[in-house]
Structure 1
Amino acid sequence: MPENDYRLILFDQPDDPQALRELFRGVMGLHPTEAMQWVKRAPGILPWPLAEGEVRELLDALYEQGIAAEARRVDTVPKLVPPRSVHRAAVKEDGLSVGGLRGEPAHWVPWAKLELIHGARIAAEDEFRDPRAPGWSGTLAAGLNAMILRGPRASRARRASRVVKEPTTELHLVRQDPLIAFRVVADQMNYSDLGDRLKPSAAENFPVFLADILGRVGGRAHVTDSARALLDPADDREPTTYPNSQAMLDATTLRLLWAWYRRDREVGGAEQA
C-alpha cells in the first residue's frame, strides 16, 4: 500500500471551481461536498497527505488547468508554529537584534538570513458597552421590582452601545538556517531603539520601524505587497485584513512556500539556459 508522504500546495484560485472539484473526485474518490471543501482551500495547503501517484496525477491536471501548484514531502513543509513574539528589536547595519523581556539581546537575524516579510492587519471584534451604570435609585427600583416578581423596565438610554474597534497591525519575519518565524504586534512593541525618532504612539513608530527593515534588507527577502501597503496604502493596494492571527500565520506559511517555489523555478530556468 503506498504511503501518504506528500502535501499538495495550490498557489492560485481556480478559474473553474467545478473542474477542480471533479479532479479531486476523480483522483481521490471524494464525495462532491468534500471535494468542494478542498476547492475552497485554494490557494492554500490541502488538509491531508497524499500518495506519490496521486500528487503526480493531480500536478499534471493542475498544470493543464493553469493552476500553479507543487507537492512537498510532509517533513519539508515549514512549521512556523508557534512564532516567537517580539517586544523590542533594533535595526542594525548587518541585521535585526531582537531583545528579550528585560531588554537583553535574545536573537540575532542577519539580513542575509531574512527570507520573508509579511505584514497585515488583524480584525478586532466590536465591543458592546452599557453607556452608563444604574445609579442608586435605579438599583433600588430593580430590587423592588424583583420583590414583586416583575423585572425592571429597560431604559432606551441604557441600551448597549456598539464600540467599533480598529484592527491591529502585525508583522511576520521569517528567517532561514534555522527556520524561525518572529511575530511583531505593532501596539505591543517597545520602540525606544528608534532613539531621537521616537514618536508618542505605536501608530507613528511602527511605520518607521518597518521602513528601516525594508531599507536594510534590500532585495534579499521576499516582501509581500500587503507589507509594503502598510507603509504606502493606495486605492489599488491596501494591507490584507485577516480574521485572526492564526489565519495570518497560515497565509505567511503559504507565502513562504510561494517564495521557495518561485526561487526554485528561477534556478531551474537559469540552469536550463
Structure 2
Amino acid sequence: MNPLLWLALVTIAIVLSLWLPGWRLKRALSRPLSAAALAIIEGNIPVYRHMPAPLQQQLQRLVVQFLYQKKFVGCGGLEITDEMRHTIAGQACLLLLNRDTLVYPELDTILVYPNEFVVTRDEVGPGGVVTPSANGLLGESWGDGRVVLAWDHVQRGAADWTDGQNVVLHEFAHQLDSESGAANGAPYLPNVTSYRSWATVLSRDFDNLRHDAIYHQHSVMDHYGATNPAEFFAVATETFFEKPYQMAEHHGELYGEFLKFYKVDPRDWAEPPTEPQQMHSPFSNYAAQ
C-alpha cells in the first residue's frame, strides 16, 4: 500500500474515533425524555416537582447522558425496566447538579438485584486465620466501574424522601468519593484551602458521630456513618439531600461544606419538618469497595 494512502487512512480512523463518540452523545442529548420517563422521575423523586425549571431541565439532560453511557444489568432473575433505569439515573444525577463534572466517568455498569444480595468475602482473624464471611447488602460501590443496588430498597428510598436513608444517593456518593483515587471521604475539591476546611469540619463531625454511636445517642445522621470517613461522607450526603433543615440546624458548618461541594441547597425544594425527627436504627448493609 502506498505509504501516503496508509497514513491518510490511519489519520481518518483516528479522527473518526475521536469525533464519533462526541457526535453520538450530542445526538442522544438532542432527544428529550419522554412523557413516560418524566412521569417516573416525578413519581420516584418527590422533590423534583418542587425544583426550579432550570434545575429540572439540567437533571433531565444529565439523566439522558447517564442512560446513554451506562449499562444496566438485572441480577437474581430481575428484568430491568424503564422505571428502574430512570429512577436510579434520576436519583444519581441529583448529585451532579450545578457541578462542573463528568457524569460518573469511572462508572460503566449498574447491577440491580430484586432485594438484599449476599456477598462473600474472606476475613482475616487473629493469628492470620482466613474465614469466609457472607454479608447481606442493599448496595455496594465497586472500584472497577460497577455499582450494585437492591431494587426494593431503591423503591423504599424513593417512597420516603425525609428519612435520610437512600441507597442510590449513598452508593453514588461513594462513586464521587473514589474519583479522587480512593474512597476516603475526600472527593475532588477545587483547591488546597477547600481541602483544609473540608478536613477540619468533616473530621470533627465524624468524631462526634462516632461518640453518638458508641453511647447510643440520637443523631441527625445514621450511625452507620461512624464506620469510617468514606461511609461518613456517603451518609452525610443522604442527610444533606433528604434532611437538609435538620442537618443545617445541628451540623451548620458541615452543611456549609456540602453546599460548596454540591452547589445546590436542598432546602430550596424540601418542606420544613413539622416535628422533630430521630434517626432510624443503625444498619450496616451499604458498602464501598
Q: Which has the larger radius of gyration?
A: 1
| Larger proportion of strand | 1
TM-score (norm 2): 0.23
Higher relative contact order (Cα pairs below 8 Å, separated by 6+ residues):
1
